Structure 1
Amino acid sequence: MKFLKRIQILAILPFMLFLGCSNDDEPTGGDETSPIITGTNPLDNATDVARNKSISITFNEEMSLASFTSTSFTLKQGTTPVAGSVQYADSTARFIPNNALSAGLVYTATVNTDVKDLAGNPIANNKVWTFTTGTKTGLTTVNLGSSANYVILAKTAINNSPTSAITGDMGLSPAATSFITGFGLTDATGYATTPQVTGKVYAADMVPPTNTNLTTAVENMITAYNDAAGRPTPDFLELGTGSIGGMTLDAGLYKWTNTVSMASDVTLSGSADDVWIFQIDGDMTMSSAMKITLTGGAQAKNIFWQVAGSVALGTTSHFEGVILCMTGITMQTGATINGRLLAQTAVILDSNAVTKR
């Protein structure tokens, strides 16, 4: 009987090894969870969608770039495929049509289970959503008029704690040259220079036509502010109740009735032709060392931050876009910006880099 039991154990042993020990080449304890879709833009069943809008889908984790292809992310009008390209960055994939979509038609976007996360896990099911286009082709840029000639434009003062690096012209009106401090200006005819500015510095008390040019520029700045503030029907209202740190923001019109803060990094993702307009009824603050990153070809010149209150960019932070501020803009020590600072009171600098885009 002992001999028979030994034979039985030996016969069972290979089967036990197969069940418990033969999978040494397989990962154990790894990520086996399917990625979760956290949102689409436009939303399912959305109407009046801009005809030149990119179609995006966002996930709860980083995804495999290689898994986003012309077959895994598609757009159709009825049964007719829409030609376009697929981009992926920062947990968001975008389908960008080659041409503007037709007006007043229903389109269907599909992301299938070929899409995977970095561990190779596919989404659980195909994601299918529809939307209807409107007649418009999307947001147009805010026309800055002649205020676009300046990287910094203010009305009451431009104060600087050296040394800053300004790329582009600066202008101040109706205040005089004496209200531009901390630059060590050298007077010239109709403008001034300083090693801290790669460009020229203008003020209202300089000889013509500087004074009249600045008057026009300030008027254009105010017109641009009112244009941005008056754009109707926001795509996003009170997003994050104003706390937008950590978010990836698609192109569109955003509105908040209170303060907006960036306590962590923010990403703006879209194509080179996409436009962002942010309407902020309160203050705007960016915490120290935080940054705005542009992906997908997005350009600072197409990003407009209309702020009714004050703006404060924290130490060593980095900002992107054109700030149109009704009051004052303060850049704390070492902060940088690609864009423009257009303030209806003062601009305060402290060893900053301000680059016109």
Structure 2
Amino acid sequence: MGASSVRTAMPTTTTTRSLRLTAALGIAAIGLALVPAASANAATTIDGPIGLGTAASYGVLGSSTITNTGPTTVGGDVGLSPGSAVTGFTGPPTGGSYTGALNVANEAAATARQDLTTAYNTAAGLSPNRIGLGNLGGQSLVPGVYSGVNLSLTGTLTLEGGADSVWVFQSDETLITSTASNIVFNGDASSCNVFWKVGSSATLGTDSDFVGTILADQSISVTTGADIDGRLLARVGAVTLQSNDIVIPDECGEDGEVGTSPSPTVGDDTPPDGTVGTPYEFTVPADGEPTPTVVVSDGTLPPGLVLDEDGTISGTPTTPGDYTFEVIVSNGEEPDVTVEYEISIVPVAESPSPSPSPSTPGTPGTPGTPGDGTGGPGDGSDNPGDGLAYSGAHPGMTGMAIWAAALTALGALALTLRFRMRREQGRA
């Protein structure tokens, strides 16, 4: 009798742990499935160059040291604060020169450095139109805000735009350009309106041609023969130069404007799931002036659904499945907004089989047992089981939530059976 009790207790303990784990996993899966999808919004763009304040007149501005080797020329001011070591500007033919003022550890340099910090934070705070960039070589980019962990340039980067076009490049860490790399314009764009926010340090390669204002949090190093059509501004580090030409274009002003462009915006709402044979409707939450249009740019809508130009997805789904697609929202103002959506279409839910009467001796009013043919999980029948409709959940739940609900139901059933076994053992 004692041996029999031991044999009964051991599997019961193991089963209890497994059932508790199963139930916990089901509950966790439900929590994950119900996490809302990430929202898609139009990026905040700039409708004018980033304001540099008094830092706009500086071709070179550093914080700790400025070191030059060779006949570097700077078209504009040279400034350093709070450091005081500026070397190598002894004039031609062997030393560096500048066309503006030299401000070292004075109020003018300190103010310019404060304005640089403001400009750096402004550039860092803009929402990018594109993220995840790395090597910019070979690309042709329209105006916008571009972001990457480490930005680099091998070969040629082309910027396409007009006189008022603005580009902001955000590097979380470094900016490195290769030997003989260059940046060119296709159109009437100006280097005044190109900005590079660098999270740590920037390095410009030998004989490279660079365009724009570098706003570096740390240091800037320019190797031999590199030419800059713009500015080198280091917020807390050093600037190192080697026989370079640095020119601030004459048309660059001091002030810029930052704001929200009239390009379209898209709200956070996402399309719900649908059911075969049930009318469906969802409107992409797009807004803007002029009124934006919405078209599918990639992927396919569920069969039976169509997208109107006003952004309304409607119709009656005909085929179950998961459908992923992208839409482009545009109103003639750059930039357009691309949003990815997913719609799951489930089959028509079948009516569940009648549940056994709770009053029937020995038959609990619970979902069927796996493999017993009553519709429980794993029995292979078409009946999805009592209390668990084929749709699995409300229309907004994902496939993960359906599996989670099934696991939770299975765990509850097993715990009920375990309770009965204990009660019968007690009676014995």
Q: Same fold (TM over 0.5)?
A: yes
Q: Is the 8 A contact 2:68 2:96 kept in 1?
A: no
**Alpha-carbon shift at residue 48 of structure 1 (Å):** 7.7
Give 2:76's aligned residue. 168
Q: Distance in 1 between matches of 2:186 and 2:98?
A: 28
Correspondence for 2:153: 262
Relative contact order higher in (CA < 8 Å, ≥ 6 apart) = 2
Q: Is the 8 A contact 2:75 2:246 kept in 1?
A: yes
Paired positions, count: 207
Contact 1:254–1:279 (Cα < 8 Å) also in 2:
yes
CA deviation profile, 1:64-101 (whole Å, cap 9, x unmatched): xxxxxxxxxxxxxxxxxxxxxxxxxxxxxxxxxxxxxx
CA contact (8 A) 2:42 2:129 kept: no
Counterpart of 2:209? Answer: 318
Q: Which residue of 2 aligns with 1:180?
A: 86
Residues 308 and 138 of structure 1: CA distance in aligned 2, closer, same or farther (over 3 Å): closer
Cα distance change, pair 255–174 in 1 and its aligned pair in 2 (3 A):
same
Return the structure number with greater helix share: 2
For residue 145 of structure 1, the aligned residue among 38, 42, 53 is 53
Amino acid at match of 1:275: V
For residues 39-62 of structure 1, give each alpha carbon's deviation from its aligned partner in whole angstroms, at most 9, with x where no partner exists: xxxxxxxx9879xxxxxxxxxxxx
The 3 A distance-change label for structure 1 pair 184 and 229 is: same
Tell me whether 1:276 sits opposite 2:179 in the alignment.
no
Q: 1:212 to 1:343 in 2, by over 3 A?
A: same
Distance, in Å, in 1 between the alignment partners of 2:108 and 2:154 is 38
Distance 1:220 1:262 in 2: 28
Q: 1:238 aligns with which of 132, 155, 167?
A: 132
Q: Aligned-pair RMSD on alpha carbons?
A: 2.1
Report the Cα offset of residue 183 of structure 1: 1.1
Structure with higher Rg: it is 2
The CA distance in 1 between the partners of 2:234 and 2:46, in whole Å, is 27
Contact in 2 for aligned 1:165/1:353 (Cα 8 Å):
yes
The 2-side partners of 1:225 and 1:153 are apart by 13
Point out 4+ residue stretches in structure 1 off by more than 3 angstroms. Answer: 47-50, 136-140
Q: Using a 3 Å threshold, how does the CA distance of structure 1 residues 270 and 48 change in structure 2: closer, same or farther?
A: farther
Alignment correspondent of 1:197: 98
Structure with bigger strand share is 1
Contact 1:139 1:252 (8 Å CA) reproduced: no
Please give the TM-score of this superposition, normalised by the length of structure 2: 0.46
Task: Give the 3 Å change call, closer, same or farther, for CA 138–203 of structure 1 in structure 2.
Answer: closer
SS in structure 2 at match of 1:236: coil
Percent identity over the alignment is 40
TM-score relative to the length of structure 1: 0.55
Task: State the partner residue of 2:330.
Answer: none
Shift of 1:153: 0.7
Gaps of 5+ in 1: 1-46, 51-135, 186-193, 205-210
Q: In structure 1, how many angstroms separate the alpha carbons of the residues matched to 2:108 and 2:96?
A: 23
| Match runs of 1:76-91 below 5 Å | none
Deviation at 1:162, TM superposition (A): 1.3
Q: Aligned pair in 2 of structure 1 residues 202, 253: CA closer, same or farther (>3 Å)?
A: same
Distance in 1, matches of 2:104 and 2:66, equals: 10
Distance of 1:353 and 1:340 partners within structure 2: 11
Unaligned runs of 5+ in 2: 1-39, 250-428
Partner of residue 192 from structure 2, selected from 285, 298, 301: 301
Q: Is 1:287 aligned with 2:188?
A: no
State the match for 1:213 in structure 2.
108
Deviation at 1:140, TM superposition (A): 3.3
1:253 corresponds to: 145
Which shows bigger deviation, 137-146 or 326-335? 137-146
Does the residue aligned with 1:301 lie in a helix, a strand or coil? helix
The answer on whether the counterparts of 2:183 and 2:210 sit within 8 Å (CA) in structure 1 is yes
> Matches of 1:311 and 1:214 in 2, distance apart?
21
Contact 1:320 1:337 in 2 (8 A): yes
Shift of the 292–137 alpha-carbon distance from structure 1 to 2, 3 Å rule, reads: closer
Shift of 1:195: 6.5
2:225 aligns with 334
One-letter amino acid of the structure 1 residue matched with residue 222 of structure 2: M
Q: Does 1:225 align with 2:120?
A: yes
Equivalents in 2 of 1:286, 1:154: separation in Å?
20
Cα deviation code 1:238-286 (max 9, x no counterpart): 13xx111111111001111x11111111111101101111111011110
Distance in 2 of aligned mates of 1:143 and 1:263: 29
Distance 1:139-1:238 versus aligned 2 partners, 3 A rule? farther
What one-letter code is carried by the residue in structure 1 that aligns with 2:66? I
Whole-angstrom CA distance in 1 between matches of 2:101 and 2:241: 17
2:239 corresponding residue in structure 1: 347
Amino acid at match of 2:87: T
- 1:163: how far off? 1.2
Structure 2 CA distance for partners of 1:195 and 1:229, relative to 1, 3 Å: closer
Shift of 1:137: 8.3
